Structure 1
Amino acid sequence: MKKVLFVCTGNTCRSSMAEGLFNHAVENDKDGLKDFRAFSAGLSAFEDDWANPKAVKVLKEHYNVDISSHRARKITKSDVESSYIILTMTKEHKNAILKMFPGAADKTYTVKEYAYGDDANGDYNMDISDPYGFPEDVYKTCAGEIKDALDRIIMKLKK
C-alpha cells in the first residue's frame, strides 16, 4: 500500500479533511488508486482531539464524507519513513518537516505545489489557510480548495 500523508498544524481541520476526501475518492474509484490510502497528522496536534465539528459538518453535508471518528495525532518518524508522499497544507509545514526529517525532501510538497506544479503562476498562493476559529463558510471554502487540489493530485497518481 502506498501511504499518502497529509500534514497541518493540529490535525483537526485541514489534514483531516484532506484525508477524508482522498480516501473517499479512492474508495469510489473503479481503477487506478486501489493501492493508495491517506493518513494525516499534525505538527502540533493534541493527541486524540476530535476533528473540528465544522469540518465534520461541511464534509458530510457537501461531500458525503464522514470524518466524525477522526482523532488527531502528532507526526512521527515512522509516518514520514512509511509515506509514499507527504503533502502539507502550507510551505511553513513543509519547511518544518524538512527541518525535522531532511531525508524526506524528495517526497514532501505542499498540497497545491504537488497539485498545480508548473500550472501555478508566481502570484498563486500555494498555502491552504487554516479555517480554525472561523465561521462554517470558511471551512466550506477550505474544503473546496482541498478538493480541487486533490482532484488534480489523484489524476497525477493514476498516471
Structure 2
Amino acid sequence: MIRVLFVCLGNICRSPMAEAVLRHKIEERGLAQQIEVDSAGTGDWHVGKPPHEGTRKLLDSVQISYANMAARQFASNDFEQFDYIVCMDNSNEANVRKVIGGVDADIIKLMDLLPHEVLREVPDPYHTGNFEEVYQLVDAGCDVLLERITAEHALS
C-alpha cells in the first residue's frame, strides 16, 4: 500500500481538501486498493473537527466526498507511515521537519509539483476566504502527484 499524507496548519481547509480530491481521483482510476490518503495539521486547534465549512461547500459543489474526515495533528511517527508527505506551505514543511527531529524524510510542497505557477505556497483560505483558488491548485497538484505515484510504482 502506498500512503500519502497532506499537511497544512489546522487540517480543516487545505490538507483535507487535498485528501478528498486525491482520494476521489484514486477511486476514479480504480487504485483505491493500492493508494491510501490522509491529512494532518501541524497545529492542534481543530483536532476532531470536520473540514471547514468553506472546504465542505466547495467539495459539495464538485461532488467530492469528505465523509468521515476529522482533523488530526501531525505525529512524529507519520514520516515512517507515509511514502509521500506533501505540505501546503513553507511553514508547514518547517514544522513537520521540526516534529520529526532532523530525520532525513522525503517531504515535498504541493506547489513544487506545479513549477509553472507563480504562487509557491498554497494560500490558506481560512484567512483569504478563497476556497476556489485553493481547489484549483489542489486539483492540479493532485493530478501531477497521482501521475508521479503511478509512474514511480508502476501502477496502472
Tell me the TM-score range normalised by the shorter chain: 0.7 to 0.9
Instruction: Return the letter of the residue paired with 2:69.
Output: H
Distance 2:149 2:87 in 1: 17
Q: Does the 8 Å contact 1:91/1:127 carry over to 2?
A: yes
State the AA in 1 paired with 2:37: A
Structure 2 CA distance for aligned equivalents of residues 139 and 156 of structure 1: 25
Could you say which structure has the higher helix fraction?
Answer: 1
Separation (CA, whole Å) in 2 of partners of 1:158 and 1:97:
25
- TM-score scaled to structure 1, two decimals? 0.85
- 2:73 maps to 74
Secondary structure, counterpart of 1:153 in structure 2: helix
Match of 2:118 among 104, 115, 124: 124
- For the pair 1:54 / 2:48, whether they are aligned, the reply is no
**Secondary structure in structure 2 of the residue aligned to 1:77:** coil
Match of 1:151 among 143, 146, 149: 143
* 8 Å CA contact retained: 1:8, 1:42: yes
* TM-score, reference length from structure 2: 0.87
Aligned residue for 1:132, secondary structure, equals: helix
Give the Å deviation of 1:56: 0.6
Percent same amino acid among aligned pairs? 21
Deviations 1:79-105 (A, max 9, x none): 2211101000001111111122121x3
- The CA RMSD measured in Å over matched residues stands at 1.8
Measured in 2, the distance between the counterparts of 1:25 and 1:154 equals 8
Question: Which residue does 2:23 correspond to in 1?
Answer: 23
Distance 1:25 1:69, change over 3 A: same
